[in-house]
Each structure stands twice: as C-alpha cells, then as structure tokens.
Amino acid sequence: MNSRENLQKTLNHQQPDRLVVDFGGTAVTGIHCLAVKNLRNYFGLKELPVRVVEPFQMLGEVDDELAEAIGTDVVGAYGKNNMFGIANNECDWKSYTTNWGQQVLVPVDFNTTQDMDGSTLIYPGGDTSLPPNARLPKAGYFFDAIIRQQPIVEDKLDPEDNLEEFEPISEETLDYWERTVHLQAASGRGIIASLGGTALGDIALVPGMQLKNPKGIRDVADWYMSTLARPDYVHAVFEKQTELAIANFAKIYQRIGNQIDAVFICGTDFGTQDSTFCSPDQFNELYLPYYRKINDWMHQHTAWKSFKHSCGAVENFMPLFIEAGFDIINPVQINAKGMDPRHLKQAYGKDLVFWGGGVDTQKMLSFGTPAEVKRQVLDNCEIFARDGGFVFNTVHNIQANVPVENLAAMLEAIREFNG
C-alpha cells in the first residue's frame, strides 16, 4: 500500500500496513524552519535555504527530499494566502535572514521593519504604510499578533465586523484549490486540506491579522469574555461563518471531489494544562451546533474526514467532540491533566482518530535524552496504533530549539516500530 492508502485505512480505524506519519501537513503538525534546516543537515541533504510555508509560526517546508528521509505520509494543502494576508503559494520568493541568523526563503511580499527594541514587525499584505499586525521578539522564534482592536462602543457592535474576512469563495480561489490538490494527489501521499472559513473563535485568527483595519471584537481577552458576556453576538458570527463555510465547501467539492482525505476544520483551543476554558454546557450551547452542521454536511456529501485541533486537558470534551461529528482530534496533549494515552485509546479510540500525541514536545522532545525520547515514542505508538486510528505526530509543532539528536531518536523509534 502507498501512503494514501495507509492513511485511509488509519482514518477508518483499520490496521494499516505500517504506522502513518505526518510532519508538515498542517499549521499545527509542522516543523520550525530552524529544525527543518537541522534535519536536512543531519540527513546529509543538499544545503538549501528553507522555505517558510507558515510565517506566523515560522514553519519550514518539508519538501519531497526531506519527506522521503523522515518518512512522512501526508502532504498539506494550504490556502494561497498566509495569516498575514500575503500570498504564500504560487508566488515569487526572496531570501531573508532571520533574527537568529538563518537564511530562509519567504514570499516576495514578506516585508518587515525593526522596532526600537530589535523586534521584527510585519504588516497586513506586506504593506508597510499600515500599522504592523505582528511582532517577532528579538530573541524569539515566531510571531505574536499585535492587537489592533478599535475602542468598543457597546450599542454599535455589529457581528458583520467580525465577519469581514469570511466571504463567498471566488472563482480564482476555486481554480487555485483545483490546481493545488491535483498536483498533490500525484505524490501518492494522503492529503489534509486547510480550506479555511471555519475558525469559530480560533484565537490565532480572531485578531484579523490579514485585515488592513480590523473592526469588531479583535482582542483575544475581549473575545473570550464575549463568549459569556455577549453570547448573542458570538452566535451571530458563528451562524454566518457556518453558512458561508458550507456553501464554500460545496463549491470546492465540485472542483476537487474526494481527492483530499481530511479537512482542518477548527483550531479553537478548549484546554489549559490542567482544565478547560469553558464548561461542557457552554460548549454544547455555543460551539457544538455549528460544528455539527459543518461535519454533518461533510459526512453527507463527501468522503472527507474532519480534523479538530484543541490543546490542553480536554479529556472530558472527547465525548462532545464525537457528538459534534469530528473524526480526528489533534494534538493529543499527553502531558496535560487527564490525557493518559491508555485511557484515551480505550475510551475514545473507536470513534476518534488520534493525530498526534506521539511524543511530548513541552518537556520530553526538547529536554529529554535521546534514549528517553525513543522509549516514549515506542510506548505511545504501541498504545495508540493498535487497530488503526493513529497518525504519528508530536504534540503540536516541532520547535526551533529541539536537539536534532532527539529528533533522530524519534524517527529511529518510528522506523523500529514499523519493523
């Protein structure tokens, strides 16, 4: 079986020929560009500047050469524009030196300036005449959003202001998806697509970094408070988002059919290290109806599987994710409270595919020894991979400071598990 066939078996809770692996398929299963460089050096690949495929987190491209070396089975279909509103696909590229001294390739409209403290500032659509939308600290490795929320006048709040970035899909964008998916289908790998439009409160997207002048509720803290203080407003935003998303998905499906295997639906986090951001009752009231509508449409009209990202201690939300119609949960934060791999697999493994959870990135991958990393990977693969339903990935993206020896130990453990 090729990679895609093994992924499809995995997603249908059947035992694949071998463990399916994803490195780089989504913005939450990727590899920082510095770690990509270190891996290329480790495998003796030609020294090339790494393309930054997701600049908010500075994730690097896992090209075909590296994908073959590390054994990834999944390729990601990303939208044409990145989170800064800059074309990141089907664009020209230029050389760029990061603040940690790495030569990378970035889109030609990736225009930055330096703040007084040495931080790097970036701009909506690369337009430096506008106020900056994100900052990369001098000693940092990825950007933080700059909140540009205008003062809130309560009686003038309009849900349409939080819907500016959600609109009917254009023929040009449909053409882009058709070209992109057709090219990726030839790889023989499984495809997960980030089609967009279904953010539903994802705080990475709430600030509207791609917008020149975002209106509405754009401060992350204000948004969280609004889920309790302004539920009617949030419902109005979610209802229109869902309506637009389903209409757009229907048009995309007419173009690409079932050439893709999974769709990244939403990255809204519901967990902290020890608990959840909201109660199950609030999830049922505010989020579940809209997730259900999107997932029901997908399951009724396509063979696509729906991918839900939520960090944190969300064990008690697993039944709710299932009820909402999600097929896949990521990143499976095994170091958070209650997220024991054996319990998760036993309790929810018949209904949910665990995409991630192969190794803890907060402590083990960054600070453990290679032997400790290898042991944890083998243990988690043994637990999660039984009877299918497990795509190997780390707990969220591989960060810049991970020792390459630990990454090598992780990959060696995967090869050993696969025999």
Contact indicator for 244, 168 with CB cutoff of 8 Å: yes
Nearest residue to 392 via CA among 5, 82, 7, 2? 7
pTM of the full structure:
0.97
Mean pLDDT, residues 265-289 taken together: 96
pLDDT band, residue 1 (cuts 50/70/90):
confident
Nearest residue to 331 via CA among 341, 342, 323, 320? 341
Mean pLDDT, residues 313-336 taken together: 98
pLDDT at 322: 98
Mean pLDDT, residues 243-262 taken together: 98
pLDDT band, residue 101 (cuts 50/70/90):
very high
pLDDT at 46: 95
Rounded CA Rg of the chain = 21
- The highest-level CATH class for domain 3-30+71-80+150-417 is alpha beta
Mean pLDDT, residues 237-255 taken together: 98
Nearest residue to 385 via CA among 108, 17, 57? 17
Q: Partners of 307 in the beta sheet? A: 264, 328
pLDDT in tens, 136-165: 999 999 999 999 999 999 999 999 999 999
Q: 3-class SS at 388?
A: coil
Domain ranges of the chain: 3-30+71-80+150-417
pLDDT in tens, 17-49: 999 999 999 999 999 999 999 999 999 999 999
- What are the angstrom distances between the C-alpha of 215 and each of 84, 317, 373? 16, 32, 45
Place of tokens 């090209």: 63
pLDDT in tens, 212-224: 999 999 999 999 9
pLDDT at 223: 97
